[in-house]
Amino acid sequence: MGLENSTCDRCKQKSNVLTGSYFNTEMICLECDKKERAHSMFKMAQSIEAEQVKQGNYNFEGIGLPDDLKK
C-alpha cells in the first residue's frame, strides 16, 4: 500500500508525503512536520529519540506531543 492520498494523523489533511513525528507515533504531513521542527522542544525530542535508537529501542513512542502543537 502506497501513501497516495494518505491522511495526516495530526491535521487530518490528505497528503502524498508523510513522515514520522519525533514527539509521538503519528505520521504527519510536511506542513505539520515544518511546525514541529520549529517548536522549541524539537531538538530535545530528536535527541532523546536518537539516544533511544542507539540503545536498541526501535519502538520509542516519543516524549509526547506538546499542547501547542495539538489541533
Residue-wise pLDDT tens for the chain (71 aa)? 455 669 999 999 999 999 999 999 999 999 999 999 999 999 999 999 999 999 999 999 999 999 999 87
| Whole-number pLDDT of residue 31 | 97
pTM for this predicted structure = 0.87
Task: Please enumerate in sequence order all residues whose Cβ is within 8 A of that of 60, keeping only pairs 6 or more positions apart, or say none.
Answer: 48, 49, 52, 53
pLDDT at 1: 46
